[in-house]
Every structure is written in structure tokens, then in C-alpha cells.
A = this chain, B = another copy of it.
């Protein structure tokens, strides 16, 4: 991790932001547990795939929120300090991995 530009968010998340994010992640955690139950009950593969796809979609949306906040704070700050290129390249590298 120390190879990244920062260790912490440039601007700390507000407690409201944290609560919303935690709620989304708890819901995802619950969906993952739901799949464990479906496996246990030998549920039909197609129903399991649909659930996995719902989790993928929820995770992607969390990723988009994190990306947007990152651009509005960390990348914006870097650009204002004239250090935008490095920050943009760091983000691009993770976006490429993300959409794999």
C-alpha cells in the first residue's frame, strides 16, 4: 500500500458519508451470506447467479461513489497543487483493474 500517493483520504469522510457507505456495505455483506444459505439449500444455479450479479452491481456502485469522491477531493487537490498528472495516472491504473 505504501506505493500509493497517500495512506489516508485527503479530506476525511463526514460521519454522514461513513454511515451511508457502511449501510451499503452491510447490505452487500448480507447478500453474500444469502448466497451461502442458497448453496446450503441446494438452490437452483440460475437463482444463485442472479444473486451474484446483484452483488456485483451493488459493489460497482460503491466503487463509483468512491471514485467520484476521490476525483472531487484527492485528484482535485492534486491538480490545484500542480501535481495532477501523478494522481490521474494512479487513478487510471486502478480503473483499468476495476473494469476487468
Q: Which residue in B35, B44, B55, B64 is a CB contact (below 8 Å) of A96?
A: B64
Report the Cα distance A1→B95, complex, angstroms: 25
Mask of A1-39 contacts with B, CB within 8 angstroms, 1/0:
100111111001100001001100110110011011001
Asked if B46 contacts A36 (CB within 8 A), the reply is no
Asked if B95 contacts A95 (CB within 8 A), the reply is yes
Q: Which residue in B26, B33, B39 is a CB contact (below 8 Å) of A21?
A: B39
Report how many residues on chain A are interfacial, defined by Cβ distance under 8 Å.
68
Number of copies: 4
Asked if A7 contacts B43 (CB within 8 A), the reply is yes
In the complex, besides A1-B44, A32-B32, A68-B92, 19 extra interface pairs with C-beta distance below 8 angstroms are A4-B44, A4-B46, A4-B47, A13-B39, A18-B39, A25-B39, A45-B67, A46-B90, A49-B66, A52-B66, A56-B63, A57-B100, A60-B99, A68-B89, A71-B84, A71-B88, A72-B84, A72-B88, A95-B95
Minimum C-beta distance from A3 to chain B (A): 10
